[in-house]
Every structure is written in structure tokens, then in C-alpha cells.
Structure 1
């Protein structure tokens, strides 16, 4: 990855700083991505993020 391989799945933006620690799980027929981030609008308080994932040609994409 240091030499240009791989793709970025989740990046920080705005109030969402340092997202990481991703895990996936399936519930009610949907795949979810769970991760932590630091909330820049709340003095850096760590929080949990959840996003629905869909799959396109075998690769995850955010809904």
C-alpha cells in the first residue's frame, strides 16, 4: 500500500477525525460497517460510526 496499492475505504472529513478499527456485520439482510472516529465538534470525543455497505463487482461501496 505504501507503493500505491490498495484503495481507501474510509477517510476522515469535517467533524469525523481518524476513522478506524473497521469491522463488518450482517443484520436484517444488510451488511454494516462499524468503526470509531473522533468528533472534532465535541472536543475529540470518540464515537461509533455505522454505515450500510453494498457490494459492486465483489467490492464494498457505501450506500
Structure 2
């Protein structure tokens, strides 16, 4: 993992984000197909609020 990824992941520590923001992150990483979103919900949960690092972990950071 390069330095930029670590900094991005670390900067999300103790940060909560909305469902909308989580789905925006999935879109930014081209993980927004219906089956991807369903897998995301199955793995991370179908929540109103997410820990930002949990979303980034799911995306592979």
C-alpha cells in the first residue's frame, strides 16, 4: 500500500459518514453496481451511519 492510501485511510479514523456519503465512496471506486451495493450491505450492514474506515476497509484500503 502506498503512502497516499495509508494517509487517506488514517485520516478517516473516528469519522462517521452518512449512507449517502458511503454510497458516493462506492461510486468513486466504481463499486456501485446493484450487486456491489448488496454485497456492501451484507458485509458492512444496512445502516444510516457508517464508520468511514469500515467503508474504506471494504473498498480495500
TM-score of Structure 1 vs Structure 2, range by shorter chain: under 0.3
Structure ID, larger Rg: 1
Q: TM-score, normalised by structure 1?
A: 0.25
Higher percent of residues as helix: 2
| Higher RCO (CA 8 Å, separation ≥ 6 residues) | 2
Q: TM-score, normalised by structure 2?
A: 0.26
